[in-house]
Structure 1
Amino acid sequence: MPTATLKNSLQVAYTDEGEGTALLLLHGYCGSRRYWDDVLPLLRSEFRVIAPDARGHGETQATEGAYSMEQLAEDASLLLDALHVKQAFVLGHSMGGYTALAFAEKYSSQLLGLGLLHSTTYPDDENGKAGREKVAQRVAEEGIRGHIDDLIPKLFAPAHRTSMPDKLELARRIGYGTSPLGAIGGALGMKERPDRLSALEQARVPVLLLAGEADGVIGPEKRFPASGPNVKSVLLSGAGHMGMMEAPEAFADAILDFVRSASGAESR
């Protein structure tokens, strides 16, 4: 498992497989690069796939305090620099999507395309912000396991909570590996994130919006916040918030079709 020490001194664990155009995959909250286990083999045959563990998640170093989406975007940008990758398609799942939006605002010169995977441009409402605070307080007081046990079933479509026990167990094990500092920092960082609809509306690169039909985290009204000639919207039938695990072939096909199309447009 390769690691890199970034210019901001953060030690990052990552996967880097395949060749060609780079895809930077950013996982969601209390996840890790293992979220991509089922889709990575389907993507690396055509593209270079870089999948880091976010700050405080998986095997990447944890730091104290709130992890702003801007800070996580900086981590992603510095990792590309460390790997000598000038430009990449940046595709983020859930919290990784919020990070990708901040990346698009701050590091547009490194961006070939932008993907929100079970994510949204909208900020938390007041209830959502209060929920983030409760999560941070609970993890600080009790540790990570109880939070993960409550969180993971909500991420899967109701039908899959019983039909995919192995996937839920894997997601739990990944979640247990999150540093308490990472769970607290991620929750507080997501609470603070702004509305980034303008990042989509002003994007000069191709955009993929991928959503799950049965996603209980990102509601229907938040899944496709923008449209236009550069925006491709894909709805995964039957999937919840974890399409990469629930429907990996359809999930990977959506990314492959998007990147092929976008790369073809660029070459012309």
Structure 2
Amino acid sequence: MSSTDTTGVSHLGGSTIGFRFGRPYDPALPTLVLVNSFTTTADLYRPQFDDPALAGVVNLLAIEPYGHGATQAGHRHFTYWDSAVANLQVLDALDILDAFVLGTSQGGWIAARMALLAPDRIRGIIPLGTSMDFESPRSRELGCWDGIEFCSPSVDALAEPVGDDWVVPGEFVDAVLAAGLGDTVSDADRAFWRATYQATYTGDDGRHRLRVSTVNLRDRDGLHGRLDDVRCPVLWMHGTADAVYSVANAEDGIARFVNSPGAELRIVEGGQHFLSASDPAEVNAAVADFVKRWS
């Protein structure tokens, strides 16, 4: 497991935010913020950190949202809007004036929120395997999962305080991996992610952060009414094997970025929900091209 640095920001009463650079920061290159998916860490982007061609085009900066990895909020409750604000404050702390943002699943709607909050600083967004809707009946009619059904048992199971020896159950990790990567998970990757989760979500603090993260996924607000305010380019990539959000939903979502100077949907045949992990070669090449085109 690679080491993650932290920095302090003022949001939510003072917070510690986990972040990781792919390699030492080069001010001559544009920066790409990477925002990880539900309950994962910056380690989700190991295939991007390990790509020397991508590193030659852009600074890779993974920032872990509230409730995830090394990030700790000053208050007990937080939303995706809070993570977007904190990410912008991390850029301030690192003296980075502007950036592109790539986000997987929940990271996609955090990226969109960053573009809405700081249109002068976000140069483009790359949502992967995501939705800009809330967990609505409409999205299920378009072939998306039932996020309420997926999340509610965990919200209920995590409601009561636990002792210091508690760790996230392996079954929870397996359910996330199944949704994110289908049957493509190797034994080594499953063991890696079980160890990573169990190092992250321990004791009553871990239980609470995991529960709030799950509540956020289930109960979040949608962005459809705000997407016409996104004024940066958008490259939405979506896999045909995505078990969570459908291609039809992605087609509907990209069409709502009506004031973007360039809004493109790229379909990846056989790609999973955690697209940056399942299809890194295609994602990395598309990201490098997008950043070069819009820098």
TM norm. shorter chain > 0.5: yes
1:117–1:204 distance in 2 versus 1, CA, 3 Å: same
1:220–1:172 distance in 2 versus 1, CA, 3 Å: farther
User: How much has 1:219 moved relative to structure 2?
Assistant: 1.8
Structure 1 unaligned spans of 5+: 264-268
Q: Secondary structure at the match of 2:151?
A: helix
Count of aligned positions: 260
1:87 aligns with 2:92: no
Q: Secondary structure at the match of 2:20?
A: strand
User: How much has 1:222 moved relative to structure 2?
Assistant: 1.6
Once residues 238 and 169 of structure 1 are traced to their aligned partners in structure 2, the CA distance between those partners, rounded to angstroms, is 24
1:26 aligns with 2:32: no
Task: Name the residue aligned to 2:194.
Answer: 172
Once residues 156 and 74 of structure 2 are traced to their aligned partners in structure 1, the CA distance between those partners, rounded to angstroms, is 17
Task: Name the residue aligned to 1:153.
Answer: 178
Q: Which moved more, 1:142-151 or 1:184-193?
A: 142-151
2:287 maps to which of 252, 255, 264: 255
TM-score normalised to structure 1 length = 0.87
User: How much has 1:82 moved relative to structure 2?
Assistant: 0.7
Structure 2 unaligned spans of 5+: 138-145, 161-165
Q: Secondary structure at the match of 1:235?
A: strand
Give per-residue Cα distances to partners, 1:118-169, cap 9 Å, x unaligned. Answer: 11101112653354333222234585223223222221134x14xx333333
Task: Name the residue aligned to 1:14.
Answer: 19
User: How much has 1:213 moved relative to structure 2?
Assistant: 1.4
Q: Secondary structure at the match of 1:149?
A: helix
Task: Name the residue aligned to 2:141.
Answer: none
Task: Name the residue aligned to 1:5.
Answer: 8
Q: Secondary structure at the match of 1:80?
A: helix
Once residues 171 and 199 of structure 1 are traced to their aligned partners in structure 2, the CA distance between those partners, rounded to angstroms, is 35
Task: Name the residue aligned to 1:112.
Answer: 123
- Which AA in structure 2 matches 1:112? R
User: How much has 1:195 moved relative to structure 2?
Assistant: 2.1
1:235 aligns with 2:240: no
Q: Secondary structure at the match of 2:19?
A: strand
Does the aligned pair in 2 maintain the 1:154–1:217 contact within 8 Å?
A: yes
1:144 aligns with 2:176: no
User: How much has 1:99 moved relative to structure 2?
Assistant: 1.2
Does the aligned pair in 2 maintain the 1:64–1:181 contact within 8 Å?
A: no
User: How much has 1:94 moved relative to structure 2?
Assistant: 0.9
- Which AA in structure 2 matches 1:243? L
- Which AA in structure 2 matches 1:153? A
1:198–1:91 distance in 2 versus 1, CA, 3 Å: farther
TM-score normalised to structure 2 length = 0.80
Task: Name the residue aligned to 2:151.
Answer: 132
Task: Name the residue aligned to 2:239.
Answer: 212
Once residues 122 and 31 of structure 2 are traced to their aligned partners in structure 1, the CA distance between those partners, rounded to angstroms, is 10
1:173–1:45 distance in 2 versus 1, CA, 3 Å: farther
1:45–1:180 distance in 2 versus 1, CA, 3 Å: farther
Does the aligned pair in 2 maintain the 1:66–1:187 contact within 8 Å?
A: no
Task: Name the residue aligned to 1:59.
Answer: 70
Q: Secondary structure at the match of 1:197?
A: coil
1:245–1:169 distance in 2 versus 1, CA, 3 Å: farther
Give per-residue Cα distances to partners, 1:192-212, cap 9 Å, x unaligned. Answer: 322212443332111010111
Task: Name the residue aligned to 1:222.
Answer: 249
Q: Secondary structure at the match of 2:65?
A: coil
- Which AA in structure 2 matches 1:46? V
1:148–1:140 distance in 2 versus 1, CA, 3 Å: farther
Once residues 225 and 123 of structure 2 are traced to their aligned partners in structure 1, the CA distance between those partners, rounded to angstroms, is 18
